[in-house]
């Protein structure tokens, strides 16, 4: 696998509009910076190998490395990734209430993980005026402030980089599939740096079909309402095909087709819906409002969930077979679309250029 | 004892061209001088200002060249001897007034000295003064050596007195900034007493109103003056012929090219074949004199820099004279023997001559040439043109560039004229994307800021220096405000006109002669225009960037004044703000995570990349201790300690 530098990163990812702004390249050097939901390079760097390139979820990735790191085995192509169990879940009776997106499983488990000492810090995502604002949290009672989904692509991984720099050894992260993939790559220490101290992590992945570009999202919202009045956002299950903005007084519906127009190009290449590179993955429970779908992927995840259940922090239910089928379908659909799009892109790159720029390819994903 | 205050008639001195010019003006009995700095002209006003009190002169740095010409003209209208000084681009600025002045005529003797810069040694253009003489219909004289620089300057005042119109004197960098022997002449008394007569008959050139109307009448008068000049020029001692009575080839040249031509003829030992007619009076040409010399040879080579000013005028004359002098063969710009860009040198003239005359000439031994070019290539390290250590402009451009990149909307910065024009170059992080005339950055930005109507969403920034702000950036700022444009104007206020040598400007408490003067406060001026203004220290990168982000994201016109005195200014020179050091054990060097942010990106000359240790170090001799590198170091290896 070839690791290149920032120039190739720009050439392959940024200049092809494939950057999803996850923040993996931010916070490790003085050159890549995140601002208002976008990642940009400030001054040029002439290194031929860099962590920016190695960490980016859009560049060549060895899935076996990621799988070995997380699951202690090579990558197996499965529609919804490696998993131990799937539940229907929501915050238990002992959990603190909050304005959760769905069942509050994420917030509750992160809090629980910190209170149990599994993590000393958590990388979570808030927003200010609709601009994603990832932060490092070290007090468990602050975790609740981060509940609810910000649909904007967020440079959350930059804060994971920062947490490592600050010396945190047990870091919890909530993130989307691209963010989790980047974290897997970071943990694999791709440049074999001696000084890299791999932190313990507890990774909660979020299901994701796409995120939206922050600046365009703000523009779209501003055309609908005063954005300071927006209290929450949601995507009701199909066949609704709408995005709902809730203010104190009204619910504004935006056709999903309008939202899809402002999805970063990079999202269309993503083959992961259920967030495979995490200890547990959480999404909405289709058809059951106030509940989550919870996929337990690792031993670590399983242990935490078992104690959360037994201590009354998490309520779970069997996940119906037909829902598994449905989830699998959705997941396979995204994989197919993502891979087809990647293929198409690689072709167009080969055509319109003299071979210097190569499209990012996937190793281990056949 | 100074030659600028004493008589010293008949003594010989080694003088710089510009000093010779000053002495010439003083010998002419100067009263008033005004100018705006610009290389290679600046030493003239500087020197006059230094001795202004002793000489009872009024000397000022004006806000711009147009005003300088107007101030000098007021001297002339008051009956005094006056001088305006500028570099060529300044003449473009002053040209509107000049058009009207040349038609209204002058009273006291008035001279306009313009310094051209063929080859753009310290300019971003090869602007031509000579064509203005034709366009404005005023006489043009051009000294060809140091003695002439003094003598012709003195004579220019006499000529102006005789024709009652302004006289244009043109010098070039290689004359203004080189030195030669000059024998001083007699000093005339200054006029010393000013009175503006204005109640005479309206058309009376000495007592009526001074104006260019009625146009046909005044224009006609002006042309009569010009005819008179041509007659005077027929007998001018500054038109000199040297060479055989009937040369095979006649060189016609002027200005410093006379020296190049002489050297070329001598290098080729062609003194017996080539004659040189050096013209000191280049507009209007004296036709009889030209006829006399054209008649001597069949082949004519015209040697002049940049555009074919002489060449075209002489060809017109030759066409008219053809019935008496016959057809001539011309060499010069038109046939490609003399290039139309860049300055000339003896080698270029030698090449032209050797091809015309069929003389073989080897400038240097081939082997020598080869070795010299090898040594130059391998022996001298590549060096980037960059800002001085501790230059506030470096810090400003670092912030501007970083903010515009992070803002990520393809924003751009319109540049302007000053030291900060180097913001175009890698040393300024290639921040500037346009660069034209003084004040044009903000004018362009004002226009760009209105392109939103056509879907342009790129943030627009302009920069201008403090001197440039007063010179010509205020009108475009007003324009932007009034027309509801969207831009951030950044005034890079380093408390002086740095590029040209720290001349004062209206923003400072001192005038050209060093006396106390009221200062005009830039932020107050902007506030008065009704625009939002903030002032930051560019060395405070965090505050500067925070403010700039705010401005980039807000609508309308915002002004950010980045105020920090120039590192080389006499007030600051040698005073360190911080003692800097680099902790080797923390410095990441070329590793991923830094990759020489300080030496490779910021690239202040005060920082050295130590190839052996592969770490950065501070060059204590050069570092002025601004502390900026400590703010850009990603690992905190660069330490600053209050000095
Ligand atoms: C961009 C995006 C797209 C999604 N798409 C789908 C989907 O198609 N189908 C589906 O079933 N579920 C999707 N989800 C997940 C879903 O919206 C809920 O986040 C999830 O069900 C957890 O619910 P909860 O009540 O447990 O979360 P909460 O307890 O409310 O906690 C939400 C957590 O999400 C984190 N977070 C919020 N926004 C971001 C962000 N932009 N980047 C990283 N972390 C963030 C916060 O830090 C917080 O910890 C998406 C989430 C995001 C962020
Ligand atoms: C019309 C015109 N007049 C004069 C000059 C010469 N000139 C070049 S830079 C400069 C001074 C700029 O000073 P300032 O704007 O304060 O910038 P600084 O050099 O101090 O950074 C001048 C006068 C010019 N280029 N054009
Ligand atoms: S402190 Fe740093 S940036 Fe400033 S002059 Fe010294 S070396 Fe240059």
pLDDT above 50: residue B17 = yes
Cis peptide before B214 (omega within 30 of 0): yes
Q: How many residues can be counted in chain A?
A: 366
Residue A350's pLDDT is 65
Specify the 3-state DSSP secondary structure of B78: coil
Contact A195/B at CB under 8 A: no
Whole-number pLDDT of residue A358: 38
- Distance, in Å, from the CA atom of A189 to the CA atom of A168, rounded to the nearest integer, reads 16
Task: Please choose from A88, A101, A111, A113 the residue to mutate so as to test ligand 1's pocket, defined by most ligand atoms within 8 A of CB.
Answer: A101
Q: What is the edge-to-edge ordering of all strands in the sheet holding A314-318?
A: A131-137, A121-128, A170-175, A200-206, A280-284, A292-296, A85-91, A314-318
Average the pLDDT over B387-398 and give the result.
Answer: 97
If you measure CA to CA, which chain A residue comes closest to B590?
A: A47
B572 band by pLDDT with thresholds 50, 70 and 90: confident
- pLDDT attached to residue A361: 41
* Cβ neighbourhood burial of A211 (10 Å; 0-12, 13-18, 19+): buried
In order of A268, A333, B30, B415, the CA distances from A338 in angstroms are: 6, 9, 82, 44
Cα separation, A54 vs A51, in Å, equals 5
- Residue-averaged pLDDT of chain B: 96
What is the DSSP annotation of B198-234? -SS-TT-TTTS---S-SHHHHHHHHHHHHHHHHHHHH
pLDDT of residue B223: 98
A46 → chain B, closest CA residue? B595
Interval B179-216: pLDDT, tens: 999 999 999 999 989 999 999 999 999 999 999 999 99
Confidence of residue A287 (pLDDT cuts 50, 70, 90): confident
Q: How confident is the model at residue A359 (pLDDT cuts 50, 70, 90)?
A: very low
Residue by residue, DSSP assigns B265-279 as HHHTT-TTTEEEEEE
Q: Are A46 and B406 inside 8 Å of each other by CB?
A: no
Give the domain B392-563 fold: Rossmann fold (3.40.50)
> Is it true that the peptide bond before A197 is cis, omega within 30 degrees of 0?
no
User: Per residue in B139-182, pLDDT tens?
Assistant: 999 999 999 999 999 999 999 999 999 999 999 999 999 999 99
**For residues A110 and A328, what is the distance between their CA atoms, to the nearest angstrom?**
26
Specify the pLDDT at position A355. 37
Q: Smallest Cα–Cα separation from B28: which of B101, B106, B80, B88?
A: B80
Report the distance separating Cα B341 and Cα B358, nearest Å: 25
- Tell me if A42 and B406 make a contact (CB, 8 A cut-off): yes
Whole-number pLDDT of residue B469? 98
Pick one of 3.40.50.620, 3.40.50.2300, 3.40.50.920, 2.40.50.140 as the CATH number of B240-357: 3.40.50.920
For residues A53 and A355, the answer to whether their CB atoms sit within 8 Å is no
CA distance A310 to chain B (A): 45
Cα separation, B544 vs B366, whole angstroms: 56
User: Concatenated DSSP letters for B390-427?
Assistant: T-HHHHHHHHHHHHHHHHTS--EEE--SSGGGGGGSGG
Contact A182, A22 (CB under 8 A): yes
Determine the pLDDT at residue B468: 98
For A167-185, how does the pLDDT look when each residue is reduced to its tens digit (9 = 90+)? Answer: 999 999 999 999 999 999 9
Render pLDDT for B427-447 as a digit per residue (tens, 0 to 9): 999 999 999 999 999 999 999
Tell me which H or E stretch contains A133. strand A131-137
Inform me whether the C-beta atom of residue A342 falls under 8 Å from chain B C-beta atoms. no
Facing residue for B408 by CB, picked from A40, A191, A193: A40
Strands B329-331 and B299-303: parallel
- For the domain spanning B12-234, the CATH number is 3.40.50.970
Convert the pLDDT of each residue in A295-320 to its tens digit. 999 999 999 999 999 999 999 999 99
3-state secondary structure of A281: strand
In sign, the C-alpha dihedral spanning B100, B446, B126, B172 is positive
pLDDT digits 0-9 by tens, B325-384: 999 999 999 999 999 999 999 999 999 999 999 999 887 888 998 888 888 877 777 788
Q: Is the pLDDT of residue B231 over 60?
A: yes
Q: How far is the CA of B332 from the centre of ligand 1 (A)?
A: 77
- Give ranges for CATH 3.40.50.970 in chain B: 12-234, 392-563
Task: Single out the residue of B353, B362, B331, B336 nearest to residue B264, CA to CA.
Answer: B353
Query: What is the pLDDT, as a whole number, of residue B372?
Result: 87
> Which pair of structure tokens corresponds to residue A30?
């003085």
Per-residue model confidence (pLDDT) at position B287: 97
At residue A354 the predicted structure's pLDDT band, cuts being 50, 70 and 90, is very low
What is the pLDDT, as a whole number, of residue A205? 98
Calculate the alpha carbon distances from A174 to A134, A280, A284, A285, B612 in Å.
Answer: 10, 10, 15, 18, 44
C-alpha–C-alpha distance, residues A85 and B394, integer Å: 58
pLDDT, tens digit, for every residue of A114-169? 999 999 999 999 999 999 999 999 999 999 999 999 999 999 999 999 999 999 99
The pLDDT of residue A334 is 94
Band the pLDDT of B575: cuts 50, 70, 90: confident
List the residue whose alpha carbon is closest to atom 5 of ligand 1: A208
Mean pLDDT of B409-424: 97
Note the CATH architecture for domain B578-642: 2-Layer Sandwich (3.30)
Q: Computed over its alpha carbons, how large is the radius of gyration of chain B?
A: 28
pLDDT > 70? residue A330: yes
Express as a percent the part of chain A with pLDDT over 70: 95
Phi, psi of B574 (to 5 degrees): 85, -10
Q: Do A43 and B601 touch (CB under 8 A)?
A: yes
Whether the bond between A289 and the residue before it is cis, its omega within 30 degrees of 0, is no
Report the pLDDT value the prediction gives residue B92, as an integer from 0 to 100. Answer: 98
Q: Mean pLDDT, to the nearest integer, of B455-471? A: 97
- Is the pLDDT reported for residue B1 higher than 90? no
Identify the CA nearest to A145 among candidates A209, A105, A190, A99: A99
Beta-strand runs (E) in B404-550: 412-414, 432-434, 460-465, 487-493, 532-536
Residues B197, B185: Cα–Cα separation, whole Å: 32
Distant-in-sequence, close-in-space partners of B384: CB < 8 Å, separation ≥ 6: B425, B426, B427, B603
Spatial separation of the C-alpha atoms in residues B191 and B201, rounded to whole Å: 24
Please answer whether residues B441 and B474 qualify as being in contact, where contact means their C-beta atoms are separated by less than 8 angstroms. Answer: no
Contacts of A43 in chain B (CB under 8 A): 401-402, 405, 429, 597, 601
Q: Label residue A346 by pLDDT band (50, 70, 90).
A: confident
User: Counting atoms of ligand 3 from 1, which one is nearest the CA of B389?
Assistant: 5
Please report, for residues A18, A20, B105, the alpha-carbon distance to residue A14 in angstroms, rounded to integers and kept in the order given: 6, 9, 64
Whole-model pTM: value is 0.94
Let me know the angle formed at the C-alpha of A339 by A337 and A344, rounded to the nearest 5 degrees: 95
The whole-angstrom separation of Cα B138 and Cα B99 is 10
DSSP-based helix, strand, coil % in chain B, nearest 5? 40, 20, 45
CA separation, residue A47 to residues A44, A186, A352, B638 (Å): 9, 18, 26, 22
Cβ-count burial of B444 within 10 angstroms (0-12 exposed, 13-18 middle, 19+ buried)? buried
Which tokens in the block code for residue B78? 């008051």
């Amino acid at each position: 696998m070839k690791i290149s530098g920032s120039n190739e990163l720009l050439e392959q990812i940024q200049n092809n509009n494939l950057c999803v702004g996850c923040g993996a390249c931010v916070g490790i050097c003085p050159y890549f910076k995140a601002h208002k939901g976008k990642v940009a390079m400030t001054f040029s760097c002439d290194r031929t190998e860099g962590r920016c390139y190695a960490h980016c979820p859009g560049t060549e990735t060895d899935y076996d490395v990621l799988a070995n790191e997380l699951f202690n085995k090579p990558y197996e192509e499965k529609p919804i990734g490696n998993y131990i169990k799937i539940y229907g879940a929501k915050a238990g009776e002992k959990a603190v209430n909050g304005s959760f997106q769905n069942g509050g499983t994420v917030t509750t488990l992160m809090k629980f993980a910190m209170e149990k000492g599994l993590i000393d810090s958590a990388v979570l995502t808030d927003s200010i005026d609709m601009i994603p604002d990832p932060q490092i949290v070290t007090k468990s009672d602050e975790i609740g402030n981060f509940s609810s989904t910000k649909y904007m692509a967020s440079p959350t991984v930059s804060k994971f980089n920062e947490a490592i720099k600050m010396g945190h050894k047990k870091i919890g992260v909530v993130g989307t599939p691209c963010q989790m993939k980047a974290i897997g790559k970071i943990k694999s220490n791709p440049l074999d740096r001696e000084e890299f101290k791999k932190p313990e992590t507890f990774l909660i992945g979020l299901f994701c079909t796409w995120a939206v570009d922050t600046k365009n999202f703000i523009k779209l919202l501003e055309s609908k309402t005063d954005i300071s009045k927006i209290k929450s956002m949601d995507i009701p299950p199909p066949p609704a095909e709408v995005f709902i903005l809730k203010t104190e007084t009204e619910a504004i519906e935006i056709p999903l087709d309008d939202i899809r127009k402002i999805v970063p190009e990079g999202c269309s290449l993503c083959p992961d819906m259920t967030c495979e590179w995490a200890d547990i993955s959480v999404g909405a429970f289709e058809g059951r409002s106030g509940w989550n779908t919870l996929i337990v992927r690792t031993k670590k995840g399983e242990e935490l969930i078992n104690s959360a259940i037994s201590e009354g922090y998490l309520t779970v239910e069997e996940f119906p077979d037909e829902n598994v089928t449905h989830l699998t379908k959705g997941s396979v659909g995204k994989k197919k679309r993502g891979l087809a799009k990647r293929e198409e892109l690689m072709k167009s790159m080969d055509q319109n250029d003299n071979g210097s720029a190569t499209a990012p390819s996937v190793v281990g994903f056949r | 004892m100074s030659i600028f205050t004493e008589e010293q008639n008949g003594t010989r001195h080694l003088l710089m061209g510009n000093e010779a010019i000053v002495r010439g003006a003083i010998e002419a009995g100067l009263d008033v001088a005004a100018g705006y700095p610009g290389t290679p002209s600046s030493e003239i006003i500087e020197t006059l200002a230094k001795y202004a009190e002793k000489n009872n002169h009024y000397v000022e740095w004006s806000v711009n060249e147009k005003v300088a010409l107007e101030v000098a003209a007021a001297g002339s209208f008051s009956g005094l001897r006056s001088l305006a000084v500028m570099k060529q681009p300044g003449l473009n600025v002053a040209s509107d007034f000049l058009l009207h002045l040349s038609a209204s005529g002058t009273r006291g003797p008035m001279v306009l000295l313009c310094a051209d810069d063929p080859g753009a040694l310290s300019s971003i253009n090869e602007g031509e003064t000579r064509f203005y003489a034709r366009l404005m219909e005023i006489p043009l004289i051009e000294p060809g050596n140091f003695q002439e620089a003094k003598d012709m300057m003195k004579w220019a005042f006499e000529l102006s007195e005789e024709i009652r119109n302004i006289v244009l004197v043109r010098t070039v960098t290689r004359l203004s900034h080189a030195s030669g022997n000059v024998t001083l002449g007699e000093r005339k008394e200054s006029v010393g007493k000013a009175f503006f007569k204005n109640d005479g008959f309206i058309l009376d050139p000495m007592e009526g109103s001074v104006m260019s109307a009625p146009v046909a009448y005044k224009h006609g008068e002006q042309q009569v003056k010009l005819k008179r000049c041509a007659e005077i020029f027929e007998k001018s001692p500054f038109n000199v012929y040297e060479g055989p009575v009937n040369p095979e080839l006649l060189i016609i040249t002027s200005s410093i090219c006379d020296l190049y031509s002489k050297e070329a003829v001598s290098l080729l030992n062609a003194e017996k074949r080539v004659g040189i007619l050096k013209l000191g009076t280049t507009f209007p040409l004296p036709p009889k004199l030209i006829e006399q010399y054209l008649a001597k040879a069949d082949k004519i080579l015209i040697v002049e820099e940049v555009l074919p000013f002489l060449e075209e005028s002489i060809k017109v004359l030759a066409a008219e004279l053809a019935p008496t002098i016959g057809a001539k063969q011309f060499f010069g710009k038109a046939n490609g023997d003399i290039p139309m860009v860049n300055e000339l040198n003896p080698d270029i003239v030698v090449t032209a001559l050797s091809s015309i005359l069929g003389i073989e000439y080897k400038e240097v031994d081939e082997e020598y040439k080869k070795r010299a070019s090898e040594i130059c290539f391998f022996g001298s390290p590549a060096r980037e043109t960059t800002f001085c250590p501790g230059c506030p402009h470096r810090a400003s451009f670092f912030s501007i560039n970083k903010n515009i990149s992070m803002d990520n909307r393809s924003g751009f910065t319109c540049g302007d004229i000053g030291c900060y024009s180097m913001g175009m170059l890698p040393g300024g992080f290639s921040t500037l994307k346009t660069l034209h005339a003084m004040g044009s950055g903000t004018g362009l930005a004002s226009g760009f800021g209105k392109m939103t109507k056509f879907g342009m969403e790129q943030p627009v920034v302009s920069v201008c220096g403090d001197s440039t702000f007063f010179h010509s950036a205020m009108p475009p700022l007003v324009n932007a405000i009034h027309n509801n444009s969207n831009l951030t104007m950044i005034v890079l206020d380093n408390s002086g006109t740095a590029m040209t040598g720290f001349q004062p400007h209206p923003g400072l408490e001192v005038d050209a002669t060093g006396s106390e003067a009221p200062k005009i406060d830039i932020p107050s001026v902007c506030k008065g225009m009704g625009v939002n203004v903030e002032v930051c220290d560019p060395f405070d990168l965090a505050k500067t960037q925070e403010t700039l982000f705010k401005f980039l994201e807000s609508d309308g016109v915002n002004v950010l004044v980045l105020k920090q005195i120039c590192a080389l200014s006499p007030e600051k020179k040698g005073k360190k703000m911080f003692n800097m050091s680099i902790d080797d054990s923390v410095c990441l060097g070329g590793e991923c995570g830094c990759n020489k942010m300080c030496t490779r990106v910021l690239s202040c000359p005060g920082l050295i990349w130590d190839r052996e240790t592969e770490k950065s170090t501070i060059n204590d001799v050069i570092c002025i201790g601004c502390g900026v590198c400590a703010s850009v170091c990603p690992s905190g290896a660069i330490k600053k300690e209050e000095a």
